[in-house]
């Protein structure tokens, strides 16, 4: 079994990556293969509403000038998908939004390609707005017929400068529990 995680932060190895890696650590402990994809410095364009994916139905985005189709391929091959983002103006980052728009549209155009895969959101936040961003990611999972495990709190960690989230003990515990619950769910679904 495999889980692929995408970090939508503009800062590679920042708080979002730290939180995400804790979830991945727990999955690895349960024997689940993981991969973290850092989206920083690899800009993704948003959906241009050409609707060619609905016409082509080839499981690909017709805008083939960035890495979207590679990211989508990783999603298709995985059993679980983590979308991790810093909170930017109370929402996900622009890069994460672009990934959601285009992967979401291609999935819908092809009969819900991500159906029944397990999805989890991870958010880093300095102070406020993470719940709104958390919802933005969950909207993607739920409209795509994905299955979403919970944790002991909503999946966020608090911190501003890189590394600050390590001091958020509850946030760290939330990520550990999320990883364990995701592993538990994946094992039930693939028993
Ligand atoms: C453009 C931008 C917008 C931000 N907006 C918010 C916000 O709305 N609420 C908040 O609490 N923190 C906000 N922050 C702070 C980040 O969410 C916070 O520093 C987070 O830990 C960054 O994660 P990273 O280290 O993975 O980049 C913002 C940061 C940036 C760069």
User: Nearest CA to 98 among 17, 36, 43?
Assistant: 43
Mutate to test the pocket of ligand 1, among 7, 88, 154 (most ligand atoms within 8 A of CB): 88
Q: Which residues line ligand 1 (CB under 6 A)?
A: 9, 11, 14-16, 86-90, 124-129, 159-160, 162
* Domain span at 31: 2-189
Predicted TM-score (pTM) of this structure = 0.98
CB 117, CB 79: distance < 8 Å? yes
Measured in Å, residue 64 CA sits from the centre of ligand 1 at 30
Instruction: Considering only CA atoms, give the Rg of the chain.
Output: 16
Identify the CATH number of the domain in which residue 152 sits.
Answer: 3.40.50.360
Q: pLDDT tens across 53-70, in order? A: 999 999 999 999 999 999
User: Nearest CA to 72 among 146, 4, 149, 141?
Assistant: 4
Q: pLDDT tens across 104-126, in order? A: 999 999 999 999 999 999 999 99
Q: pLDDT tens across 167-178, in order? A: 999 999 999 999
**The ligand 1 atom nearest the CA atom of 128:** 11
From atom 31 of ligand 1, which residue's Cα is the shortest distance away? 88
Mutate to test the pocket of ligand 1, among 87, 92, 160, 167 (most ligand atoms within 8 A of CB): 87
Q: pLDDT tens across 7-20, in order? A: 999 999 999 999 99
Q: Which residues pair with 123 in a beta bridge?
A: 85, 156
Tally of domains within the chain: 1
43 has pLDDT over 90 = no
Please give the mean pLDDT across all residues of the chain. 98
Q: Which long-range contacts (CB under 8 A, 24 or more apart) does 66-70 make?
A: 66/42, 67/42, 68/44, 68/98, 68/99, 68/102, 68/103
pLDDT computed for residue 157 by the predictor: 98
**The ligand 1 atom nearest the CA atom of 18:** 26
């Amino acid at each position: 079994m495999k889980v692929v995680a995408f970090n939508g932060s503009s800062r590679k190895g920042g708080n979002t990556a730290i939180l995400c890696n804790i979830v991945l650590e727990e999955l690895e402990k349960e024997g689940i293969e993981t991969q973290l994809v850092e989206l920083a410095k690899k800009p993704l364009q948003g959906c241009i509403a050409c609707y060619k994916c609905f016409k082509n139905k080839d499981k690909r985005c017709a805008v083939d000038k960035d890495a979207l189709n590679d990211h989508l391929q990783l999603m298709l091959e995985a059993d679980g998908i983590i979308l991790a983002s810093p909170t930017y103006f109370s929402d996900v980052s622009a890069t994460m939004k672009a990934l959601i728009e285009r992967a979401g549209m291609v999935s819908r155009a092809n009969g819900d390609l991500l159906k029944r895969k397990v999805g989890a959101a991870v958010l880093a936040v300095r102070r406020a707005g993470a719940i709104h961003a958390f919802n933005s990611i969950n909207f993607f999972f739920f409209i795509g017929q994905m299955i979403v495990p919970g944790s002991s709190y909503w999946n966020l960690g608090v911190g501003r400068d890189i590394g600050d989230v390590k001091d958020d003990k509850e946030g760290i515990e939330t990520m550990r529990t999320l990883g364990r619950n995701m592993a538990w769910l994946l094992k039930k679904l693939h028993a």
